[in-house]
């Protein structure tokens, strides 16, 4: 008996068609459109990607509409991390939301260098400027046990960083405050052994991808030359004795 005659295969066939359609839509923004389609489907339907790929999903018009809303949003360059409200960094899953800089995997190299310095030199206090989601500060603290003072000029970033500090259970190690550079911790400058940062470095005249334009511009651009952050930092602080 052909199971299609009684409609038992219809939901799977409809879903497969929708998944292919989503993949085609995402091709213009992603090198792995099927993977992103599966990630979004997993998010919307609350099912593992593997199950969706192997078994498909029963027809649910409301959820399928929601799925395509997110697919189209992503196709315009809206970051996948903002949709999912999470980002992977150094093997940890951090909470993220629009208005806060998304940590990049390339920055993990900076964290690894900081971890080596803390361990090899026996450092006891690290500062993280422009902490954003808190990914750098939290990763260094969790992997070494060192205390970290973190700052950001964005109130939203400070809020998100505190959420992640609580989520990662490093409240005793990481402190974050709103303010420029090291200003919130001026009374502790002499104690700081190491300053880490992934500051803005893009020139205002430089072209960036649509995806980057959804992120906070103060975390991306650094004046006419791209060096404004560094110039201002070294004007304010004398670290020659460090």
How confident is the model over 1-60, as pLDDT tens digits? Answer: 444 444 444 445 455 688 899 999 999 999 999 999 999 999 999 999 998 888 776 578
Q: Which residues touch 229 (CB under 8 Å, ≥6 apart)?
A: 130, 199, 200, 201, 222
The whole-number pLDDT of residue 163 equals: 99
240 pLDDT higher than 60: yes
- Tell me, what's the pLDDT at 191? 97
Note the Cα 45 to chain centre separation in Å: 23
Predicted pLDDT at 39: 97
User: What pLDDT, on the 0 to 100 scale, is given for residue 16?
Assistant: 67
Complete domains list, the chain, with CATH? 3-76 (1.10.8.10), 99-236 (3.40.50.150)
Q: pTM of whole model > 0.85?
A: yes
Q: Which are the catalytic amino acids?
A: 101, 198-199
Q: Report residue 180 as tokens.
A: 């420029």
For residues 108 and 14, the model is more confident at 108
- When pLDDT is averaged across residues 105-131 and rounded to a whole number, the result is 98
Place 204 in a pLDDT band, splitting at 50, 70 and 90. confident
Q: What is the pLDDT of residue 182?
A: 98
Contacts made by residues 160-167, CB under 8 angstroms, sequence distance 24+ = 160/95, 160/96, 160/97, 160/100, 160/132, 160/133, 160/134, 161/131, 161/132, 161/133, 161/134, 161/137, 162/134, 163/95, 164/94, 164/95, 164/133, 164/134, 164/135, 164/138, 165/134, 165/138, 167/94, 167/95
Mention every residue, 6+ apart, whose C-beta is less than 8 A from residue 231.
Answer: none
Find the mean pLDDT for residues 100-128: 98
Q: Indicate the pLDDT class of residue 144, thresholds 50, 70 and 90.
A: very high
Residue pLDDT, tens place only, 71-99: 999 999 999 999 999 999 999 999 999 99
């Amino acid at each position: 008996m052909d199971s299609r005659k009684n409609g038992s295969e219809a939901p799977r066939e409809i879903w497969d068609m929708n998944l292919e359609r989503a993949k085609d839509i995402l091709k213009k923004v992603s090198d792995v459109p099927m993977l992103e389609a599966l990630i979004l489907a997993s998010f919307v339907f609350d099912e593992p990607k593997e199950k969706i790929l192997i078994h498909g999903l029963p027809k649910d018009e409301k959820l399928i509409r929601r799925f395509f809303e997110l697919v189209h949003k992503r196709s315009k360059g809206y970051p996948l991390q903002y949709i999912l409200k999470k980002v992977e960094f150094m093997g940890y899953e951090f909470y993220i939301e629009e208005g806060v800089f998304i940590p990049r995997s390339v920055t993990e190299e900076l964290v690894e260098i900081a971890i080596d310095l803390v361990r090899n030199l026996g450092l006891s206090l690290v500062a993280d400027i422009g902490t954003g989601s808190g990914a750098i500060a939290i990763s260094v603290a969790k992997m070494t046990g060192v205390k970290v003072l973190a700052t950001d000029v964005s109130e939203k970033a400070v809020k998100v960083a505190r959420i992640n500090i609580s989520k990662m259970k490093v409240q005793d190690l990481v402190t974050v405050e709103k303010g420029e550079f090291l200003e919130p911790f001026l009374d502790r400058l002499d104690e700081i052994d190491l300053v880490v940062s992934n500051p803005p470095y893009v020139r205002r005249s430089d072209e960036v991808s649509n995806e980057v334009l959804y992120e906070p511009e103060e975390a991306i651009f650094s004046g006419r030359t791209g060096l404004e952050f560094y110039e201002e930092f070294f004007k304010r602080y004398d670290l020659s004795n460090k």
